[in-house]
Every structure is written in structure tokens, then in C-alpha cells.
Amino acid sequence: MNDINMTYEEALSHAPQEEPARQYFFIERCQDILEKLKEASGKEQFTFHIATFGCQMNSRDSEKLQGILEAIGFVEHATEEADFVLYNTCTVRENANDRVYGRLGYLNSLKKKNPHMMIALCGCMMQEEEVVAKIKKSYRFVDIIFGTHNIFKLAELMYERLEEKKMVVDIWEGTDRIVEDLPTDRKYPFKSGVNIMFGCNNFCSYCIVPYVRGRERSRSPKDILEEVKQLADDGVVEIMLLGQNVNSYGKTLETPVSFAELLTQIDQVEGLERIRFMTSHPKDLSDDLIEAMKNSKKVCRHLHLPLQSGSSRILKVMNRRYTKEQYLELVEKIRTAMPDISLTTDIIVGFPGETEEDFNETLDVVKKVRFDSAFTFIYSKRTGTPAAKMEEQVSEDAIKNRFDRLLAEVQKISSEVCGREEHTVQKVLVEEVNDHEEGLLTGRLSNNTTVHFKGDSSLIGKIVDVYLDESKGFYYMGTLRP
């Protein structure tokens, strides 16, 4: 079993069929090979570097990939001048693909200098057939290509590459599998993301995510709770529950459990201080969830609720399945239950067919809701989505004019509403040493606003009382209270 000259085919015949035992088998095989490579090369260690593009789901996936690489024996390196470089890719916008192609040329120059270097690509971009075809044709120096559904297989794919000495491509069109209990290396010791579901069933007309992340599948509440308890026991005080649409959690379980019910169960975990979640789709945000948030002492007073457009006509073409009026009604319910909540949003400007009247409807929602902040995007065609084929694409001049007006309104409102806690004492989770001014720490309020204040680095990871001296619009300057 420990024969390090075992071929990939022989390894397959010995490997357990069940996960995660199968992957631990391949982790051990890769450990053996890595030790032999160290002896042959005279190197004390082999290094890895992961570059993560895109959303928090990708960031969480990268923590899992890092855990596997460290279990094999690789040591993290700060730059791409490493022995194993992995790009965890995003494909929400087409220019994200172009960025990866551009950086691959640089990796090729590094690989020519390092005979041991391996390059791997994974993530959403790899779920596109034309992308994989292009890499196989034009970027033959890439060693491993895999997608979003099988990141747990990294050790097995690496073993195959090392034994077969050829490019390994393993892309799954979809899956209903969720593999638990593999190594993970968290970026922060005091906070962590926790996947509660994968995939998306919404098919918004501008979005590629359902095609590259697959259909919705929820983790069991038992597995989620177990993970959260382990994290809390390990010193984690804040978790971020992750899903493309957390509000539809539980629909694929044999015994359905709603997101509100899951949230209430997680709220009982001892040692945990804060619970965040994203992303919430307005069409699925239930009264039960609002009630669960209201009654919780741990759920943070911040909700990201993507609007995308304030025009009911455009929302219908986007396939968002709510109207302007329904969105405003939902905001009213949320604010009635939790008057102190911070609301943030996403808005797209220049969606195909958007008129000046449609845009003014969006401005109207922004003025009525008064978001703490908004991520504003200029619509860009995404090949493979229904919106990319739509006629009536909006002119660049009109889009720029509208975008500038929207941004000005968002920033004006944000500067007015974000200072409402000024001259009060608030709980702050200390996250890091401020890298702009010596002696300052940076942390976050429950409502996600940043606070800078003087303090010692020993406070990182702790929740402390801070007096908010002055609002600077998007952040506070504060004073630590004893």
C-alpha cells in the first residue's frame, strides 16, 4: 500500500470508494511523492500559492484547497514564484476570464525556470467548455484543470498528474454530492465562512452562476451545526453562512429545514458571538426569517439585499421575480422589526432596454430605502446568459451618465446615514492592525461598518467596547473603552 511507485491505475484499485477516505488515501500518496521530490531536488520544502478571484464562496473553497495542500506537505508562499500555483477563478464578468489568460503567460515564464513547478486552474471559469478547450490548445503548460463541483479531489488529481506526467482535466457538469471532513486552513483564527448550500436555481437573465455552480443543494443541518460547534470550540467568534441564495436553504433536504430554523439552531451554539450570512434573494426572504433575526442576540444587524433595478419592468426581464413595490414592502417589514439594521445592496446600471424612466425608478428606491452602501455595476454582456442576446443594448454615454448620477446619490445618502452611531459606545470585533497608520487597530461593528482606533495587537480576534468619536462617512474613528 505504501509503494510510492504505484501507478495511478494501481492506486485507483487500492483507493477506498467512499469519501472522504478516498481523498485521505491520495493525500498520503502525494505526501510520499513530495518527500521523494525533496530528496531528489535537495529542497527542504515545496511551496504553494493560491490566487483567489471572485466571491466569498470562492474564498471559502480556497481555504479548503489550502488545507489539502498543507496536509500533503506544501508550505504557503506569498507570490506566484512557488512550486504549485493554483488559480481559483471567477467568471461572473467576461473580463475576469481575460485577467486569468493574461496571468497565465507570466506563470509560463516562471515554470520555465522551475522544473518542479505545477500550475492548476479551478473554479467557475473552468466550467465553461470553450475556456477548457482554449487552455488545452493554447496553454499546454497547465497541469491540472478542475471545476466547482469537485474541489475536494485536488489530492487525487495531483497524484494522477504526478504519475501520468500529462495534463489532467476533470470537469463535472453537475453534482448532488457534498463531501465533508476534509482539511481546511482558515485565513482568520477568529472568524470563518461556513457553506450551508451550493449552487443556484434562480437563473437571473444576466447571471452565469447557475450554469457554472450547478443547481441548489443544501448541506444537512446536522453537518452545519457540527462544523459551527467545532469552529466555536476552536476560538471562532464570528461566522458567515454562505450560499448563492441562503433564503432558499433546505429545499433539497429529505426533511426540509428552513433557513430561519437553521439560523435559530446556530444561534444556540455556545462560544459563538456573531452570525452573518449572504447572499439573500428578496423573493425568498420570509417573515419567519425576519422574526428569527429580530429575536437573535447573535445575528448581526446587517443585511445585504440585492435590488439590481428599481424598475418592475426591468426586474421582470431580469427574472428577479419581485416588483419594486414588493421590495419596498419587504424593506419596511425588516426596518419595522429591526430599526437599527444596516441595509446594503447591489444595483446594475444599463441593463438591456433600460430607459431613463426605468433608471429614475431605481433612483427612487435608493432615495426611499437610504442604503448604508451599494455596490453599483455597469451592465456587461456575459456570454452564455439570456441577457447577452437581448436587443436594445443601452449606449455607453447613457450608461456613464446614469452610473455617475446613481453613484453620487448613493454616496450622498451613505455619508448621511452611516454616522448614526457617532458618540455612542459599540461592540467592535478587532480584525487586524491598521496598515496605514501605526498604532491603530481596525475592526467592525455588528452592522459591518469599519472602525479605526488605538490599541494593541493582542486585541485581534476579541470583541471590545469602542467609543465612536467621529464618523468619516464610510468608517469611524474611535477610542477603546476599558
> According to the annotation, is 55 in a ligand binding site?
yes
Contact in structure between 127 and 89 (CB atoms under 8 Å): no
Instruction: Judge whether 90 is annotated as a binding position.
Output: yes
* Helix and strand totals (H; E) in the chain: 14, 19
124 is in an annotated binding site: yes
Angstrom distance (rounded) from CA 458 to CA 406:
41
As a whole number of angstroms, the distance between CA 340 and CA 342 comes to 7
* 3-state SS, residue 38: helix
SS3 277: strand
Q: Is residue 55 helix, strand or coil? A: coil
CA 280 to each of CA 202, 249, 286: distance values in angstroms, whole numbers, following the listed order:
12, 10, 11
Secondary element (H or E) of residue 68: helix 56-72
3-state secondary structure of 132: helix
CA distance 315 to 174: 28
Report residue 176 CA to chain centroid gap. Answer: 20
How far apart CA 153 and CA 126 sit, in angstroms, is: 15
Cα–Cα separations (whole angstroms), residue 59 to 51, 230, 287, 401:
9, 20, 30, 34
Annotated binding residue 207:
yes
- 122 annotated as ligand-binding: no
Distance CA 87, CA 85 (A): 7
Rounded Cα–Cα distance for residues 407 and 414 (Å)? 10
Report whether 260 contacts 286 (CB < 8 A).
yes
Residue 350: closest CA among 300, 395, 284: 395
Q: Give Cα 224 distance to the centre of its chain.
A: 17
Q: Supply φ then ψ for residue 369, to 5 degrees.
A: -80, -35
- Specify binding-site residues: 55, 90, 124, 200, 204, 207
Residue ranges at the known binding site for [4Fe-4S] cluster: 55, 90, 124, 200, 204, 207
